[in-house]
Amino acid sequence: MPRADWARADAVAPDGTPIAYWTSGEGDPLLLIAGQAVDHTSWCVAAELLQPGRRLITFDHRGIGESGLGAPGRYDTRLFAEDVVAVLDHAGVERADVIGHSLGGRVAQWLAADAPTRVRRLVLASTSAGDAHGASRSPAADVALRSGQPSRIAEVFFTRDPAWFAHLLAIGGDPNARGRHFRASRRHDSLAELHRIVAPTLILHGAADEIAPVDHARLLHDRIADAELAILPGARHGIVLEGGHGALLADRFLRGLPA
């Protein structure tokens, strides 16, 4: 994060992998879970909007940024959720609001299903129960993602000024670890377990998302009891990261306010 008031610490995952995390502010805790192979700085714009009255917590997934690599054969979204619990434990947080974006939303599904007492309210943004359960991403999005170039990815990620917002796509870590993240995301399948999510949940999605087409959001809404669904016309995959109306809706939901 660019601001000086973020304090860095290191949690230790159950398998011994160090997980770097950052906290800022005071108040009700809000955990931000980043997407595939991007580090915690992807939240820097949204964090400014979400900060007031909250203690924000964000971290680098294993293999990314300042966190350790861990065992190469163990990368999956459920393991990443165990890393999240380690962060909450080390930070002294019993229960937090959670926003998970993209891969982070997949991780957040397991967190809410496997450790329900740790999640107060949940926002699942631009995410999916698994690639097998909805439309595939568009050919243009696939080409952009495979390029690994933030400037190209930003074109299918952001609605507002993609060239400027490209800096949020801080794709980091060992190239092999990035490949493990890709495979972990592709193998994710939580569909049969979504009924175990009991936290009040908002499904937040862009109608123009080419990376996770909008039918993925509708399926999550159908399978998570009493979940709310907000589909923003014209919005793309970075619906929360770029701030604006997506971050405002997430903020209001987490505060228990009407949309």
* CA-only gyration radius of the chain, Å: 16
pLDDT in tens, 157-216: 999 899 999 989 877 667 888 889 889 999 999 999 999 999 999 999 999 999 999 999
Going from N- to C-terminal start, the domains of the chain cover 7-254
Q: Is 87 helix (H, G, I), strand (E, B) or coil?
A: helix
Are the C-beta atoms of 198 and 225 separated by less than 8 Å? yes
Give the separation between CA 69 and CA 5, rounded to whole angstroms.
Answer: 27
Q: What is the CATH number of domain 7-254?
A: 3.40.50.1820
pLDDT in tens, 94-146: 999 999 999 999 999 999 999 999 999 999 999 999 999 989 988 888 888 77
Q: Which residues contact 37 (CB under 8 A, 6 or more apart)?
A: 61, 64, 103, 171, 172, 173, 177, 178, 181, 182
Would you state the pLDDT for residue 172? 67
Q: Which residues contact 231 (CB under 8 A, 6 or more apart)?
A: 205, 206, 207, 214, 217
C-alpha to C-alpha distances, 63 to 45, 103, 139, 168, nearest whole angstrom: 23, 14, 27, 18
Would you state the pLDDT for residue 147? 79
| Residue 66 predicted with pLDDT over 80 | yes
Reported residue count of the chain is 259
Nearest to 208 by CA among 149, 252, 176, 162: 162
Would you state the pLDDT for residue 11? 98
What DSSP designation does 63 have?
Answer: T
| Residue 12 predicted with pLDDT over 90 | yes
Give the separation between CA 112 and CA 222, rounded to whole angstroms.
Answer: 16
Q: Place 72 in a pLDDT band, splitting at 50, 70 and 90.
A: confident
pLDDT in tens, 246-259: 999 999 999 999 76
Give the separation between CA 170 and CA 25, rounded to whole angstroms.
Answer: 23
C-alpha of 236 from chain center: 15
Q: Place 155 in a pLDDT band, splitting at 50, 70 and 90.
A: very high
pTM listed for this prediction: 0.95
pLDDT in tens, 201-229: 999 999 999 999 999 999 999 999 999 99
pLDDT in tens, 29-65: 999 999 998 999 999 999 999 999 999 999 999 999 9
